[in-house]
Amino acid sequence: MSDIPNEKKPPDLSEIFDLDRHKAVRSYTDRFEELFRQRQAVTDDISQLSNEAKEAMFSPVDIKAMKTIARWRESGTSNAAAEALAALRRVSNAVKLDLFSWADQQRSEKP
């Protein structure tokens, strides 16, 4: 039979059904690679934005606060953050540590 020029080979069921899972592994690996590239691009964008904020004369503490608030807003945990800040205010007042006086002065000076 091997001498017949137009002989059809039987289909390779192992490849058709990906029994050795090579196609699936290759597909997942390619997807992971693309996501890692995207993650690196996002990390680079965040770093660039931080540098822009620094060039705009924001302090490192301000930039950290901006990032923290952005994370809270993105994750929907701003209510938990507000509760934590309220607890900080209560405790700081109880131990006579004036953490929020500057913010309170700024708020009272606004028209």
Q: Which pLDDT does position 16 carry in this prediction?
A: 77
**Percentage of residues of the chain with pLDDT beyond 70:** 86
- pTM for this prediction: 0.60
Q: Which pLDDT does position 31 carry in this prediction?
A: 94
Q: Which pLDDT does position 81 carry in this prediction?
A: 85
- Residue 98 burial (CB count, 10 A): 9
Give 45-59 pLDDT, tens digit per residue. Answer: 999 999 999 999 999
Distance set, CA 10 to CA 13, 103, 106 (Å): 9, 78, 81
Q: Which pLDDT does position 12 carry in this prediction?
A: 75
Band of residue 3 on the pLDDT scale cut at 50, 70, 90: low
Q: Which pLDDT does position 106 carry in this prediction?
A: 63
Q: What is the mean pLDDT of residues 20-37?
A: 90
Q: Which pLDDT does position 53 carry in this prediction?
A: 96
